[in-house]
Amino acid sequence: MDDAEKTGADEASSGSSAKKRTRTRTRSVTRTRKPKSTPATETAAPELPLETAAPEQRAPEPERTPEPVREVVSEKPVERPRFTPEPREEPAPAPAPEPEARVPAEPATPAPSDDRSAPERSGGPEQRHPQQSGGQPRQFHGEQGGGGNEPFWKRDKRNKRKRGKHGGGQWQQGGGGGEPRHPAQPPPPNLQPVYGDLPGPDRFNDLAALKTRADEITVGGGEPINIEKVYGLNLGDLTAEARRLGVTFEGAPNRKQLLSQIFKSAAEAKRPIVDRGWLDLTDRGHGFIVHEAVNYRLYPENSYVPESLIRQYGLKRGHLLEVQAEAPRENERCPSVVRVKSAMGIAPEEISKVKPFEDLVPYYPLKRILLEAPEVHKDVSMRAVDILTPIGFGQRGLIVAPPRTGKTVLLQNMANSISENFPEAKLILLLIDERPEEVTDFRRHTRGEVVSSTFDEAPESHVHCAEMVGEKARRLVEMGQHVIILLDSITRLARAYNALASNSGKIMSGGMEATAMQKPKRFFGAARNIEGGGSLTIMATALIDTGSRMDEVIFEEFKGTGNMELHLDRGLVDKRIFPAINMDRSGTRKEELIYHPDEMVRIYGLRRAMQGIPPIEAMEMLLNRLKKTKTNAEFLMSLNR
């Protein structure tokens, strides 16, 4: 009784300790006996209804649990062969003897008298169907058997480990995932056109046999087939040309089939095949004949020039060739050149005696290119260019222009003036990364050769187009001709070279590769006046104020390389004053070499008179004075009055 009174006093003084002791009593082993009712337990009973109710319901449970059941639970490891994968799913031979060693242990297990042992007697490995779950109510993908009373989260974790090791699962290879795998899908069809192979280079090594072959394939005579003319025809005209040449065909063949039939007919009749175009070399040593009509692009049907002929005559990229070709043989995609008739208009044996472009002596421009053409232009834009920034043969000029300041119209007027005043000069308009409608406009309104690569084409097309034009111009200058290239624009050409430049890790401001400017500078630096020979003039546009840091870097790189700059002003364009030339920033180096002495004195006086006037007002005043006269000579003579 003293112990009970002490216990009641302790429970009354500390409520939390009473609750803990009450829980300890409820979880004691002797659940059948109820402790004596104390005031503390009576007050704690409503707070823990679940703890007091649970022992009353589960109190009889230990009495129904016999000792044999405990032995079965302790011998659960005997049933582990049910969870091991079947031999067909587990390729490793090591786990195979494990079920064989434990299977004999099952008959020694005493069969309990309880009904719960029935599923175990009927669920042995030798009696279970492969698709059954071994007595479990549900199976997941990849499970191999039942798990007894094992919790489901442990069973899922074990099955995931099995799928990771042995290749099971729905999305893994190796089988054992439960669901059948879908059959392998066939690869998508290859819609790329299949062309033939290039002619074998071995049959061109013997030059004597090649010459004999060239004579044999032309014994039939007749009208020769001009490849340059045939390739320039559309499908309708090509069909008519094939019928005129006597080619028979059925149905409506496509372009490739028509060309194949034409070459096959020429080979059977031994009719000569000729071609004329510009040589484009490859890294492997051989080359192809490309044509102006398609902007010097390479096509699978271009004539193949073997390396043996290139070495024999010392041919270079950009040479104009007239050749005799052989029809393509079986499984070959293009004709092959068997004889070179001429190179740059002379005998092929003489082309190696021409002095290379790199050995020619450059000098300042000495002969002036007059752009004034009153019969062609009704405005005074070209007259203003002649006064402010004169251009000579061999000039290397930059037209620095913000967007939408009239540079395209200025280039068109220059091209028309050059075609009118100097028809003997070779004029090439090179349009890089331009809009297609502008290319069409240039072709319709200018008389020069227009070579274009629009903005929807790859940078490789821009670079190849520009390099072919540059090499062609060098070969013409070697022959003593005057070549004028109007490039729009050199900024986009430098961007194309930057896109194809190798990643050296040296990046300049604006994302420009350090080595990307070497080839654009080589192209622009080729402009020069040759002493005692021809000249190469390049007038290129450079974009500024575009919001791109790269464009500013490109302009700064080319700023000191040219010997003439013509700046267009946005302020003049806003006032609709054309040409929008900034007088203060535009000029030509060594202009005294191309000015007439009397003209130079009067132009210097004009510049001094307009020195203190703002650029916009000065240009507006100059244009108004020019419109009152018909020629620049008349305008300069009127400056004294």
Q: Are 350 and 318 in contact (CB under 8 A)?
A: no
pLDDT in tens, 451-479: 999 999 999 999 999 999 999 999 999 99
Do 201-353 and 362-638 have matching folds?
A: no
Task: Give the CA dihedral 572, 578, 581, 583, nearest 10 degrees.
Answer: -80
Q: Does the pLDDT value for residue 188 go beyond 80? A: no
DSSP assigned state of 293: G
Peptide bond into 489 cis (omega under 30): yes
**Residue 252 — pLDDT band, cuts 50, 70, 90?**
confident
pLDDT at 201: 85
Query: How is residue 397 written in tokens?
Result: 């000029």
* The pLDDT of residue 576 is above 60: yes
Strands 535-543, 396-401: pairing kind: parallel
Mean pLDDT of 494-505: 87
pLDDT score at 374: 83
pLDDT band at 361 (very low <50, low <70, confident <90, very high): very high
**Alpha-carbon separation of residue 335 from 25, 200, 217, 231, 517 (angstroms):** 105, 12, 13, 12, 37
Q: What would the mean pLDDT of 612-618 be, rounded to a whole number?
A: 89
Q: Of 629, 631, 626, 614, whose CA–CA distance to 575 is shortest?
A: 614
Report pLDDT for 326.
92
Under the banding of pLDDT at 50, 70 and 90, the label for residue 331 is confident
Residue 146 to residue 139: CA distance in whole angstroms: 8
What CATH code is assigned to 201-353?
A: 2.40.50.140
Whether the pLDDT of residue 337 is over 90: the answer is yes
Q: Is pLDDT of 321 > 90?
A: yes
Closest Cα partner for 604 from 390, 384, 387? 387
Average pLDDT of every residue of the chain: 79
pLDDT band at 309 (very low <50, low <70, confident <90, very high): very high
- List the domain boundaries for the chain: 201-353, 362-638
> pLDDT-based confidence at 450, cuts 50/70/90?
very high
Q: Which two tokens stand for residue 128?
A: 């279970």
- Position 388 scores a pLDDT of 93
341 pLDDT above the threshold of 60: yes
Average pLDDT over residues 56-61: 52
Would you place residue 127 in the very low, low, confident or very high pLDDT band (cuts 50, 70, 90)? very low
pLDDT value at residue 393? 96
* pLDDT of 95 above 60: no
Percent of the chain with pLDDT over 90: 50
> Fold for domain 362-638?
Rossmann fold (3.40.50)
- Residue 364 reports pLDDT greater than 50: yes
Least confident of 21-35, 205-219, 234-248, 557-571: 21-35
| Helices and strands: H and E segment counts in the chain | 25, 17
Residue 572, pLDDT score: 92
With b meaning 16 or more CB within 10 Å and e meaning fewer, what string describes 8-38? eeebeeeeeebbebbeeebeeeebeeeeeeb
At residue 87, the pLDDT reads: 53
- Do the bridges between strand 368-369 and strand 273-281 make them parallel or antiparallel, or are there none, so unpaired? unpaired
Q: Report the pLDDT value the prediction gives residue 61, as an integer from 0 to 100.
A: 53
Output the pTM of the full model. Answer: 0.70
Q: Length of the chain in residues, anyone? A: 641
